[in-house]
Structure 1
């Protein structure tokens, strides 16, 4: 487990160096499709409304493939989008430079986001999980302070090929929601996503914590909806989401997202205890 040695208490940067540490960099093409589908779906309004359509793929890893994919997907929402892939490891940046094109660039840096302008979208996937839980609030604050008005920061985790994913969405004021998105057939129970929870939650999946109660509620609703399996897992997942909503969980979005194997809940319902 790495510690974010250069994340200092008040959000400063030591010696002008990039904030953070080199991570393993493991990635695969199309690994981020689930979160990108969310960014270009219910969150697309943020990019459309932005005065400066700047987005950042923070910590894209050993291959720039996911940064290229993010650019192509966001360009379908707004043609003049600018995407900057940021990596703390110089050789990864050097290799990615060959893929630069109008609207897509790569830059050396870390959580301080050394880009010109304030991004409206920042995606950091499979990055913070390699730090300690105590580092998360400081890292979040660094990125939040760089967001444009209406901007969104995504801190998420997924498996090696993107079948199970979970992410926290934050704006400048703090965390807004937790999303879970899984490929049908890639899980037995919804709580199988537990090993892919973002760093702020992964160690809190224990009795007495809200995230544990939420995952247990998902499992109960999934099992209760078992009779609908004969109509397909989309129907079963949608029924699970409806049960959660009816039970008082602050489920966001709606059936069009549920059919994708996705569910988003308000952050207060899953936020870690003190």
Structure 2
């Protein structure tokens, strides 16, 4: 699938472009497991890896993971830096293409993707700009589509992302390699831009992380059974006061998903 779309003035700015193989594996696997049905039902099955960076590894990996739920899934990697696009084109193959662009998400024929994944893209923007970017990207989604926007560390151990539908933000997911975790609030440094400056007293996300730490401390007896069992016990306690949106199958992966409206910034 060749994609050659002139984009005279892409919307956005160039990121640092740092990336590593498997950096986004937690996000990809969550998308495939939780939202694979939407990918299967979509007419075109096109996903976008927005701002894939200086190397195309994340787009290549996204295609492989989506094809576990839809064999004819397609991925377009979009980058605002034309040099990166040209460098990536040697990796193009059936179902994988690269295009020059930004938040306007250029696809041939005005197609709308069922998925836009924007990882580690908005960290460099001001918080005040986030909602306008979200609105622009959501407007590009196919009916029933999904925007996943978040931040992770360099090797994908810790990751927090927001899932948004065409109607707006739905959930926030916290994901970690459990063996690397001292306490759940370690994930605060990976909060997406819409939340990272809100981790202060009086804001819901701060209250959530504080309760998460308390539940983790109370679940210390489970540590003898391993970090996974401690995490599961922690989330079971946490959901008494917070609208946890997933179940033990995801908790076992070192994840927990909470409704956005419970964590949304005040004001």
TM-score in same-fold range (> 0.5): yes
Q: Which residue of 2 aligns with 1:4?
A: none
Give secondary structure in 2 for the equivalent of 1:265. strand
Structure 1 segment 63-142 matched on structure 2, within 5 A: 63-116=55-108, 117-142=111-136
Aligned residues: 259
CA offsets 1:196-254 (integer angstroms, 9 cap, x no match): 00000000000000000011111011110000000011111011111111x23110120
1:30 alignment partner, one of 6, 10, 22:
22
2:150 is the alignment partner of 1:159:
no
Give secondary structure in 2 for the equivalent of 1:147. coil
User: Contact between 1:46 and 1:120, CA under 8 Å: does it hold in 2?
Assistant: yes
Q: Which residue of 2 aligns with 1:269?
A: 262
Give secondary structure in 1 for the equivalent of 2:207. helix
Q: Which residue of 2 aligns with 1:195?
A: 189
In structure 1, distance between residues paired with 2:216 and 2:8: 50
Q: CA deviation at 1:16?
A: 4.8
User: Contact between 1:56 and 1:119, CA under 8 Å: does it hold in 2?
Assistant: yes
2:203 is the alignment partner of 1:209:
yes
Q: Identify which range, 198-207 or 249-258, moves more after superposition.
A: 249-258
2:247 is the alignment partner of 1:254:
yes
In structure 2, distance between residues paired with 1:145 and 1:90: 24
TM-score normalised by length of structure 2: 0.96
Give secondary structure in 1 for the equivalent of 2:34. coil
Q: CA deviation at 1:75?
A: 1.0
In structure 2, distance between residues paired with 1:248 and 1:225: 16
Long gaps (5+) in structure 1: 1-14
TM-score normalised by length of structure 1: 0.93
In structure 2, distance between residues paired with 1:200 and 1:113: 21
Instruction: Let me know the Cα RMSD of the aligned residues.
Output: 0.9
In structure 2, distance between residues paired with 1:211 and 1:16: 39
Q: Which residue of 2 aligns with 1:9?
A: none
Q: Which residue of 1 aligns with 2:225?
A: 231
User: Contact between 1:111 and 1:142, CA under 8 Å: does it hold in 2?
Assistant: yes
In structure 1, distance between residues paired with 2:51 and 2:8: 18
Q: Which residue of 2 aligns with 1:183?
A: 177
In structure 2, distance between residues paired with 1:16 and 1:170: 28
Give secondary structure in 2 for the equivalent of 1:86. strand
Give secondary structure in 1 for the equivalent of 2:93. coil
Runs (4 or more) in structure 1 with deviation over 3 Å come to none
Give secondary structure in 1 for the equivalent of 2:162. strand
CA offsets 1:83-105 (integer angstroms, 9 cap, x no match): 00000001100010000001100
